[in-house]
A and B are shown apart, each in its own frame.
Chain A
Amino acid sequence: MNATTTLACKPGDYKSDVKPIWCPGCGDYHVLLAFARAFAELGRPAQEIVLVSGIGCSSRIPAYMSCYGFHGIHGRSLAVAAGVKIARPDLTVVVASGDGDGYSIGGNHFIHACRRNVDITYIVMDNRIYGMTKGQPSPTTEPDFDTALSPGGTGLRPFNPLVIALASGANYVARAFAGNPQEAGALIADAIRHPGFSFVEVLSPCVTYRPDQKAWKERVHPPPVEATDDPARAARRLMTDDGFNIGVLYRGNRVPYGPRAEAVVEDLAQFEAEFEF
């Protein structure tokens, strides 16, 4: 890291001058603040951070920050981020996603990103609804939640992202609440510091299509026990989790993915020799 990393940074340094398109009262404003607080806490210069996202309300976040951003297509942010980090391990790479982008269209990449364990941090803003397309059910929507696309509810069991993450090999599993940006910022910073693939589910209420989520602030609570590095204990806890435990739930110690160190640059003539006769 160069010398600039030690300079004091303020959360405001990480915000851009672009005005968010989010509805007034959206939880994502607080996540934006939490990101800024996390980056400031880490003291990482904005030009050394890459924030990657897909499609959806939450995925708009890169334009609102002053770091490097990549706003790609729906569901593929983890793949873009893996490419950035593997090719440029010197950068801090963070991914912002939502419950539709990350768990539905991008669900397969989620599993394999956990498995691959590249040293990136995955923040999913979960509001249990598709906001940008005006209120369709997502994989985390409750089965009886009535929408125009699913009259009477989907009848489907909600996806449990934390259990999937743990089972797939994520090296860090946590839940944050947008309504407490200070705590969420500290959690995101902790997740970035932790080696390997870190996953933070952020409960981020949609005030427009899920006004019922305003009650989340009454429901969130600290986890009853400390974080564990034992996947079996973490699994038992996550299976009985009420969905509102806020904090670190699992801290693993897997070695992050990285190219094996090989004897450096060779002249391509060595490869060409194998064809010669």
Chain B
Amino acid sequence: MADDPVSVSVALLGSGGAGVLTTGQLLLEALCRAGWNGLLTRSVGPQIRGGEAAALLRVSAQPVECHSGGFDLLLAIDWRNAARFDSEIALHPDGLVIGDPAGGEAPAAMVPASARRGDLRCAELCRLHPEWRANMIALGAAARLLAIPSEILERVIDNRFGHKGEAAMAANLAATRAGAEAVAAFALARALPPALASPGKRWLITGNEAVGLGALRGGVRFAAAYPITPASEILEWLAPKLARVGGSLVQAEDELASVNMIIGASYGGTPSLTATSGPGLSLMVESIGLATAAEVPIVVVDVMRGGPSTGIPTKSEQADLNIAVYGLHGDAPHLVIAPQSIPDCLLSTQWAVFLAEALQSPVIVLSDQFLGQAQGAIARPADIAFVGRRLRAQSAGGAYRRYAITGTGVSPMAIPGTAGGQYTADGLTHTERGVPTSGALDHSAQLDKRCDKLEQYDYGQLWATLEGEGDTAVLTWGSLTGVAREALTLAANRGVRARLIAPRLLAPTRPAAMRAALVGVRRVVVVEQSHGAQFHKYLRAHYDLPADTRVLQRPGPLTIRPTEICDALFAENVA
């Protein structure tokens, strides 16, 4: 399916620990420094060493938000566990396979019979030159096939490994040259389009790093968390930075502790965040309900992975929508925000901190493994003015009413140290003063208050991404937004205009705004990455969809491709 003339896709494969992901990062960096844009995602098995790893790279002159249908180059350091990817990675019919014959055979399911094949004898070269690394040989080969200028490749290698000394550098460069020579007789069927002549200052950043930066920009100065794949990079990025801005990060004993630590820090007046994945979110939901009841602002980032239970820790899925929106016991209004791209990880997290502080509410940010561990070149994100500002009570004399019923539902919050503001934050149903009560009137008054403050707030344009026009719409969310956007471009090339509707704000729902977005739409294609069609059911529960609504859905980790969405738009009779 050479449907995509403007990009080239590369899959690098090898055993876990062979350095495939490093090779992918160096290749991406070199390509971006040479003026292209690119997206690098990872797919790995559960083993730290000896499992399977794939670095999936797509390069274009334009910004890249997703993978296309297939790959132009399959390059393997070894094929030992590559068969585990045979449902995820497919080579184009005119594609090129480069591998080490000593490292097994390319899985038949990945490689069409028409593909061209070449050898890259990594193991033998490393035996002859013990100081060489197989992944550097692979890097040289891939760089040659992608026509990366050698001086840029060398600079990228020097940036990464220069500190290891001259001998190591010389070995790395020799290895890359050997790799380049080994594939000199080959060329990709489709060359990359010309790089951008003057691309300007850009960032090379992962979604998880963007979440961390968004948190800092939003004013977060305390984080507590428990390590979990695929969220740990957020914490590892934040830990040294928080210390340098006068904040701190605590590694808690479990997620029950981490969420309660951030509740405590925020109660003390410090904007706070934790990051986790599905299993951790499951442990946190009771406490998130406490933050709703006690009206303590917190941000909980869930980098979704395959579920339920331990699921597939290293691969993406969009199946935590239900727990994020509905997982709290009692009537517990809170916010759920889903970033849609790497730069949106920054924006959405910063917005989440802003809304948590403004509305004194917990906010769940639903990222996913695809976005979190994807690295891409992005335009430098503009500084936006979302810095959390909490409505504080200043020395409240007399009988301070922490949970006073106000017009907006937001009540001034006294921070410990404020004289006269003493109150008890409570998960028990309480009066306006915060005194525990089991009275029906107090109960409904506080339920109304907490609901009203989220419902009445003006979320503005950020509630959703709305693009395009026409009477057909793709309704999707999160990391599939970029896939859908590309599908609409493909559809436009076939003469069909369609809309993209992707809510960023999943809770509270915005029925009036969605109604407006759907005016004139006669056909909707719902696109989501969950087995249970959670997003479709959520839409059905809260919004009116046209009679011609179809669903394109499957569980992770097999990402829905742009061509599939495009085909669904054209299909006449889909159940």
Contacts and interface: CB of A to CB of B under 8 A. Distances in A.
Contacts, number: 177
B267 A82 contact: no
B265 interface: yes
Interface of B: 29, 32-33, 201-205, 209, 213, 216-217, 221-222, 224, 241, 243-248, 250, 252-254, 256-270, 272, 286-287, 290, 294, 377, 380, 414, 416-428, 434-436
Contacts of B416: 47-48, 50, 68, 84, 88, 91
A80 B264 contact: yes
B270 A87 contact: yes
Interface residues of A, number: 50
Contact of A62 (B253, B264, B424): B424
B272 A83 contact: yes
Given A73-B286, A79-B257, A84-B264, A268 B202 contact: no
Given A48-B417, A67-B422, A71-B424, A109 B253 contact: yes
A82 B427 CA distance: 18
A277 B204 CA distance: 7
A88 B423 contact: no
A265 B245 contact: yes
23 contacts: A46-B422, A47-B419, A50-B267, A67-B422, A69-B422, A70-B424, A72-B260, A72-B294, A76-B287, A79-B258, A83-B260, A84-B265, A86-B248, A86-B265, A88-B417, A108-B253, A109-B253, A112-B257, A259-B247, A259-B248, A265-B245, A266-B245, A277-B32
Max count, chain A CB within 10 A of own CB: residue among B248, B269, B421: B248
A75 B436 CA distance: 19
A91 B260 contact: no
B272 A68 contact: no
Do most interface residues of chain B lie in helix, strand or loop, or is the interface mixed? mixed
Given A71-B426, A86-B250, A262-B244, A50 B268 contact: yes
Contacts of A83: 222, 224, 250, 260-268, 272
Contacts of B287: 72-73, 76
A47 B422 contact: yes
A210 B202 CA distance: 69
Contact of A76 (B246, B256, B269, B417): B256
Contact of B264 (A52, A263, A276): A52
Interface in A193-252: none
B424 A63 contact: yes
Contacts of B245: 265-266, 268
Contact of A72 (B217, B222, B263, B265): B263
Interface of A: 18, 45-48, 50, 52, 60, 62-63, 66-73, 75-76, 78-88, 90-91, 108-109, 111-112, 259-260, 262-266, 268, 271-272, 275-277
A45 B258 CA distance: 29
A63 B217 CA distance: 36
Nearest to A90: B417
A69 B265 contact: no
B290 A72 contact: yes
A272 to B, nearest CB: 7
A259 B261 CA distance: 15
Contact of A260 (B243, B257, B286): B243
A47 to B, nearest CB: 5
Given A76-B287, A271-B216, A88 B268 contact: yes
A84 B267 contact: yes
Nearest to A259: B248
Max count, chain B CB within 10 A of own CB: residue among A48, A86, A264: A86
Contacts of B246: 262, 264-265
Contact of A71 (B268, B272, B425): B425
Given A79-B252, A260-B243, A276-B201, A84 B426 contact: no
Given A47-B420, A271-B241, A276-B203, A79 B427 contact: no
A56 B270 CA distance: 28
Given A87-B221, A268-B245, 8 more contacts: A18-B435, A46-B422, A72-B287, A72-B290, A76-B256, A79-B224, A271-B216, A277-B377
B243 A259 contact: yes
Contacts of A67: 422
Contact of B213 (A47, A259, A271): A271
A90 B205 CA distance: 37
Nearest to B261: A83
